[in-house]
Chain A
Amino acid sequence: MREPVITFYDVSKSYPLYRHIRGIKNFVFNMPKHLKTMQNEQYEALRNITFEVYEGEKFGVIGNNGAGKSTTLGLIAGVLKPNRGRVIVRRRVSPLLALGAGFHPELSGRDNIMLNGVLMGLTRREIRQKEEEIIEFSELGEFINHPLRMYSTGMVARLGFSVVAHLDPEILLIDEVLGVGDIRFQKKCLDKMTTFKDSGVTMVLVTHSVASVMNLCDRVMWIDNHEIRMIGDPTEVVTYYSKAAGVPLDLSAVNKAKL
């Protein structure tokens, strides 16, 4: 039996609405009311979520906007705390950041590799060992020594993926950031992810792209209205999901298009 690396046990997460965030002035003048609303007005993002992700698994998360997918990722990454239940993560988590996050536009690509790497929890020594490999994979060539602001959108995405992919991820979190870069680089990312499969890297992929779920994932969780609607085989879950969304799903077309 494979070991679960991510365990959610009856997890609920709600956010206070933080109405007073508009400022001190507002808060001070309406102090009693605010203190009361802060406790009562909570926005529930996840309700009684229980699931496990096993070592080396490619786990997809789908659902409508605002269903709680990103909250799930935040809980795995350890930046959010659940209000109830338990989250247990047994490996180092590497989030693949949204475009340009964790990068600085004025720094060169090379410096940004270092910056991103230490933010992910690696040491400079470890990053230096991987640097050449990362640069080669990103195919940025001369651009690696230019400041990031000169890069095209696709180039930034390429660098981002290259860094995360080469820094020995144990659990890789991907939130809707694939599908940038030209089709050839997308293919390269896919190939790289396939090698993750063999090396036991666990991947959690949050996406709206039905195609990438079906092509990449072993198992899919469908979150609907802050609760788990379904967990299971990608084709099956996606079929129900599409039906619920009222979008006809053409399975043969999905299989042809790779991402």
Chain B
Amino acid sequence: MNGRIAKNWNRVRTLGYHRDWENYRDLLIVLVQKELKVRYGNKALGYVWSIANPLASALVYFIAFQILMRVNIPGYPVILLSGIFPWQWFGNVVGASPNVFVGNSSIIKKVNFPRNIVLLCTALNHMIHFVVSVPVLMIFLIAFNHVPTLTWLWGLPLMMAIHFLMVYGIGLALASINLFFRDLERLTGIILNFTFFLTPILYPLEQIPPHIRKFIWLNPAAPLIVSWRELFLYGSLQPMYLLYSLLYAIAFFAIGQFIYRKLSWKFAELI
């Protein structure tokens, strides 16, 4: 038998299959709504929660570094906040991603639907949280004399697109691989922790000694967070860091898509 020449294209044919763009769109809407509803039954209270988390961690770091350790950085509260708010989006998606497919095993095993939609919805969901937290960040910025500029009008959408592409790509890769290596989840947690402290979130970029600062672009999260902070505090975007984050975003997106495409048809075998 020439079983070895099993080409994928002729092995499965589903002719009456009718998922169109309208179903994809609705699937995405319903899944995002589900996440939001599950997390916050009550809408007003939900808003408070999505903001309380980054604010609380900012407060903790402020107490630890400014009040207790007496770090001498002018405008430290806004430096903290402008780093922590985007990081929340990044860290939450990447941290949750290994579990995205494993956690939906019962459906993945039975229903043939585009699985990357689940991850798309995770990334969108945290983006929504980020967007609703921006007004709060603005209040703090204004209080510290960093008035939002017109650059925000194109800077914010551009940065959000780059950020989204990056977390979606990383998440898709981790979610797919975690089905094969279930301890990836723990590893992700550890690496994420490293990344958090090696990225200029708790400290400004200028605080890093110049001979190390040269290598900051090696950390994929660093150009992204640096750009966000530049945009929030000074209304400007440095072309170099913007370019680095864009390249990282495209690279991760491509890697994520590639891994997902390679592995997705094996998902149901594994869970």
Does A242 touch B at the CB level, under 8 Å? no
A118, B27: Cβ atoms under 8 Å? yes
Q: Which of B12, B17, B29 contacts A82 (CB 8 A)?
A: B12
B15, A89: Cβ atoms under 8 Å? yes
Q: Chain A residues near B45: list those with CB within 8 A.
A: none
- For chain B, residues 1 to 46, give those with C-beta under 8 angstroms from any C-beta of chain A: 1, 3, 6, 8, 10-19, 22-23, 26-27, 29-31, 33-34, 37-38, 41
Q: Chain B residues near A122: list those with CB within 8 A.
A: 23
- Of the candidate stretches B61-69, B105-113, B233-241, the one touching chain A is B105-113
Q: Which of A15, A77, A90, A111 contacts B16 (CB 8 A)?
A: A90
- For A, the interface residue count at a CB cutoff of 8 angstroms equals 53
Most buried by B among A25, A115, A123: A123
B187, A24: Cβ atoms under 8 Å? yes
B30, A114: Cβ atoms under 8 Å? yes
Most buried by B among A22, A23, A95: A23
Q: Which of A21, A79, A86, A93 contacts B108 (CB 8 A)?
A: A79
Q: Chain A residues near B37: list those with CB within 8 A.
A: 106-107, 111
B23, A123: Cβ atoms under 8 Å? yes
- For chain A, residues 109 to 129, give those with C-beta under 8 angstroms from any C-beta of chain B: 111, 114-115, 118-125
Does B261 touch A at the CB level, under 8 Å? no
A92, B23: Cβ atoms under 8 Å? no
Q: A97 and B110 in contact (CB under 8 A), knowing A79-B268, A104-B34, A123-B23?
A: yes
Q: A107 and B38 in contact (CB under 8 A), knowing A21-B270, A97-B110, A101-B110?
A: yes
A91, B112: Cβ atoms under 8 Å? no
Q: A95 and B110 in contact (CB under 8 A), knowing A24-B187, A115-B30?
A: yes
Q: A15 and B269 in contact (CB under 8 A), knowing A97-B106, A124-B26?
A: yes
A118, B111: Cβ atoms under 8 Å? no
Q: A79 and B17 in contact (CB under 8 A), knowing A18-B270, A118-B23?
A: no
Q: Which of B12, B13, B110, B182 contacts A98 (CB 8 A)?
A: B110
- Min CB gap B141→A, angstroms: 36
Does A37 touch B at the CB level, under 8 Å? no
What range describes how many residues of B lie at the interface?
35 or more
B183, A25: Cβ atoms under 8 Å? yes
Does B144 touch A at the CB level, under 8 Å? no
Does B180 touch A at the CB level, under 8 Å? yes
Return the CB mask of B86-119 against A: 1 if under 8 Å, else 0.
0000000000000000000011111111000000
Q: Chain A residues near B38: list those with CB within 8 A.
A: 104, 106-107
- For chain A, residues 23 to 37, give those with C-beta under 8 angstroms from any C-beta of chain B: 23-25, 27
Q: Chain A residues near B41: list those with CB within 8 A.
A: 106
B183, A81: Cβ atoms under 8 Å? no
B10 to chain A: closest residue by CB: A86
Does B250 touch A at the CB level, under 8 Å? no
A170, B16: Cβ atoms under 8 Å? yes
Q: Chain B residues near A175: list those with CB within 8 A.
A: 110
- Min CB gap B32→A, angstroms: 11
Q: Which of A12, A23, A111, A118 contacts B3 (CB 8 A)?
A: A12
Does A83 touch B at the CB level, under 8 Å? yes
Q: Chain B residues near A82: list those with CB within 8 A.
A: 11-12
Q: A80 and B16 in contact (CB under 8 A), knowing A98-B110, A119-B27, A122-B23?
A: no
Does B154 touch A at the CB level, under 8 Å? no
Does B181 touch A at the CB level, under 8 Å? yes
Complex alpha-carbon distance, A104 and B35, angstroms = 10
**Given pairs A77-B112, A84-B1, 17 additional interface contacts (CB within 8 A):** A74-B110, A75-B12, A79-B108, A79-B109, A80-B269, A81-B8, A82-B12, A92-B18, A102-B110, A106-B41, A107-B38, A115-B34, A118-B23, A119-B27, A121-B18, A123-B26, A125-B22
7 A-B pairs with CB atoms under 8 Å apart are A15-B269, A20-B181, A21-B182, A23-B181, A81-B12, A89-B17, A90-B14
